[in-house]
Structure 1
Amino acid sequence: MADPRRGSLLVATPLLEDPNFRRSVIFMIEHGSEGSLGVVLNRPWTRSSEPPLPEWLAREVILPKVYVGGPVQPDAVVALVPSSADLPGGSKITEQVSMLDLEVETGMSEEHLEVVQFYCGYSGWSPGQLRLEIEEGAWWTFDSSLEEFLCDPSDCWRTVLARQRSAASLLSIYPDQAYMN
């Protein structure tokens, strides 16, 4: 398992029962001496209210993919683009994922706008907090790929675990309600 870093994945272990993070797959946007920040990739927006998306997006003809990025600042929106293309208004996190500046209208093509994923809120850790949670067995860290952005959110946790070349892959078949077996 790799150490957490910008562009890596943080995957909840079966021990993590917090409803905000149970079976979550988090894409790490920042990780350093000042703390860590990421967004949950597999929690689609299901709330009855409209998500707090940028006004310029309302003028576009796409139905955006919106997720709950985490419990911190739910009105803050992070936009990630799973594409290797250089995008206007984008800054690369990895070779295949960019983050958009939502303060300005990007002028992106409809083709690129269709793959943008919006995350309302984020997941954050103070300095040393994430390291402690990993040591306590709450998280695994793995390399990321485009697959996490393209798979069905309900299968994302299992998909990430199944592709690992470690004992973690065996947990991809771990039942949702282990106590019911």
Structure 2
Amino acid sequence: MIDIAPGLLLISDPFLKDPNFSRSVVLICDHQSEGSFGFVLNKPYESSLGKMLDNDAMLEYPLFYGGPVQVDTIHYLHKRPDLIDDSMEVMNNIFWGGNFELVTELLKEKQLSATDIKFFIGYSGWGEGQLKEELATKNWITRQASSSLVFHKNFNHIWKDALIDLGGEYSQMINYPLDPQYN
């Protein structure tokens, strides 16, 4: 039985057909009896944070598609609780949210870099028992998150690197085609 808790990484099965989660890696940030909440780490959004907020100081910060729920909201993960007030610890060296006005000031003053913070539009959510059911049907491969994967410099490598780190049969999955008929 997999313990669903903040800090758990969900790595999509190579053949998962859901376009929201194909070849994705999701960080679980909160889990309660009524459901789970997290962010897709490796799906870039078509616009930057600066363009979305009409703020030139934020143009260099990419925006990621956190998931299909509430895509009119912006969220962020960071590793600077010393600078960002009111954030919640997800796990060691990974924090969620905090004072957004302070974040915008820190970005303008160049006190935060793209290696310190990652922005998302929308989030991934599961209702009561839904994620447990998906795990039972093997839609997801799980492992503990690391700051280096969450804040990976190259989002295109997150899914592959998460599997390679698991070793064995998982490291072979990176070579599987999207459709098993082409195997």
Say whether the fold is shared (TM-score over 0.5). Answer: yes
Q: For 2:90, give the aligned amino acid.
A: I
Match of 2:172 among 141, 149, 170: 170
Task: Provide closer, same or farther for how the CA distance between residues 104 and 34 of structure 1 changes in structure 2, counting only shifts above 3 A.
Answer: farther
Contact 2:15 2:180 in 1 (8 A): no
Runs of 4+ in 1 over 4 A off after TM superposition: 50-53
Is the partner of 1:125 in helix, strand or coil? strand
Q: For 2:82, give the aligned amino acid.
A: D
Question: What is the TM-score of this pair, normalised by structure 2?
Answer: 0.83
Contact 2:13 2:139 in 1 (8 A): yes
Percent identity over the alignment? 31
State how far apart, in whole Å, the 2-side matches of 1:166 and 1:2 are.
Answer: 19
Q: For 2:101, give the aligned amino acid.
A: V
Q: For 1:70, give the aligned amino acid.
A: G
Structure 1 residue aligned with 2:71: 74
State how far apart, in whole Å, the 2-side matches of 1:124 and 1:51 are.
Answer: 26
Between Structure 1 and Structure 2, which shows a larger proportion of helix residues? 2
Task: Provide closer, same or farther for how the CA distance between residues 16 and 176 of structure 1 changes in structure 2, counting only shifts above 3 A.
Answer: closer
- Consecutive unaligned residues of structure 1, counting only runs of 5 or more, are none
State how far apart, in whole Å, the 2-side matches of 1:13 and 1:150 are.
Answer: 20
Q: CA RMSD in A?
A: 2.7
Q: For 1:138, give the aligned amino acid.
A: N
Say whether 1:97 aligns with 2:98.
no
Say whether 1:5 aligns with 2:9.
no
Structure 2 residue aligned with 1:31: 31
State how far apart, in whole Å, the 2-side matches of 1:77 and 1:136 are.
Answer: 31
Aligned residues: 177
Question: What is the TM-score of this pair, normalised by structure 1?
Answer: 0.84
Task: Provide closer, same or farther for how the CA distance between residues 78 and 176 of structure 1 changes in structure 2, counting only shifts above 3 A.
Answer: same
Q: Deviations over 1:50-88 (max 9, x none)?
A: 8644x7xx263651121010011101111111x265232
Is the partner of 1:110 in helix, strand or coil? coil
Contact 2:67 2:122 in 1 (8 A): yes
Is the partner of 1:45 in helix, strand or coil? strand
